[in-house]
Amino acid sequence: MEVKFLNKKDFEVYSNLSKKYGSVFSYMEWLNIFGKNLHILGLYDKGNNLIGGFAIYIKKIGPLRICTNPPFSPNIGLFLKIKDIQNKVTLNSFIKMVIESISEFLEKNNFHIISLNFPRQFIDMQPFIWKKFKVIPRYTYIISLDNSEEDIWKHFSSTRRRYIRKALREKIECFKLERSDFNIIKILVEKTFLRKNKKINLDLLNKIIFSFANDENSFAFASFKNNRPIAVSFCIYDNFSAYYLLGGIDPEVKHHGAGALSLYNCIKYAKQLKLKYFDFEGSTIPSIERFFRDFGGDLVPYFRVNKALLPLEIVLKFLKRDLF
């Protein structure tokens, strides 16, 4: 097994494999929006056949080379073409070999800082532990869309159901946005980041909303009060799952139920698309985690691996104790 930067001649093979075995975060259409800092890695077997891959984002801050997930991506989009392996020992050994190959690739490329999330399907992080990476559990909430709408609604918290009912009583209307109205997403997301005093990459935000998004990979619902958009939820999806990617509210027109109503409609629409899962993508911010938890999804762990060169790691242990 070898991990190496993907050659252009393998792009088509990679694209086909990612559509069959990966998530939307491994699709070429998604990765192409990130520019020269985005690097696609291929996983090659002993016969030099491409059997999987993932993507990393390499940025420089002064002399430092930092390796992270692509922006707006919950993980590195790792996928594998796994043959029908019945023997558990053989399967576990194969996956461990893949993870070990990835850890070796990251080590030999001399990054100053590494911080990467793995898709929830990959739980064997022992090769990273053995190489002295810090492996940290993260959590997301996932709703099974095999459940009926009634069951999904029933599992919401009583508080969340009450806020949604209140929004409907107070004539808050929720509509699926046409692409011609996607500027609403940008406006409300920008307002939300501004209210929280956080920066957002507007160039990438524009590319996601206006270049990447189409009817085959994205949808958004917005809540309106007196014809004014006051909350929006934007999701992207693949063959199996919808992912809550962006949300925003108008801080000038606060309503507890408007955001929940738009997200509830996203969940129902994902079910109409016959997807299997709705993934909230998780959050380590307590207030956001509580909001996601109120929708009654299953708590699902995934893993982040972190490592820095020793002098940097000592500093980061003080600045980012939860990560390093």
- Per-residue pLDDT reduced to its tens digit, 226-243: 999 999 999 999 999 999
Confidence (pTM)? 0.94
Distance of alpha carbon 253 from alpha carbon 222, whole angstroms: 14
- Over range 55-82, report the average pLDDT: 96
Distance of alpha carbon 298 from alpha carbon 279, whole angstroms: 10
CATH class of the region 2-138+302-319 = alpha beta
How high is the mean pLDDT of the chain?
95
- Per-residue pLDDT reduced to its tens digit, 199-228: 999 999 999 999 999 999 999 999 999 999
AA letter at 176: K
- Per-residue pLDDT reduced to its tens digit, 176-197: 999 999 999 999 999 999 988 8
Residue 283 scores a pLDDT above 90: no
Tally of CB atoms within 10 A around 240: 13
AA letter at 150: E
- Over range 7-18, report the average pLDDT: 96
- Retrieve residue 190's tokens: 């920008």
- Over range 262-285, report the average pLDDT: 95
Contacts 24+ apart (CB under 8 A), 206-209: 207/33, 208/33, 208/72, 208/245, 208/246, 209/182, 209/185, 209/234
Domain ranges of the chain: 2-138+302-319, 147-275
How many alpha carbons lie under 13 Å from residue 263 in its C-beta half-sphere?
A: 29
- Per-residue pLDDT reduced to its tens digit, 93-151: 999 999 999 999 999 998 999 999 999 999 999 999 999 999 999 999 999 999 999 99
- Under CATH, what is the fold of the domain 147-275? Aminopeptidase (3.40.630)
Residue 323 scores a pLDDT above 90: no
Residue 297 · residue 266 · CB < 8 Å: no
Percent of the chain with pLDDT over 70: 98
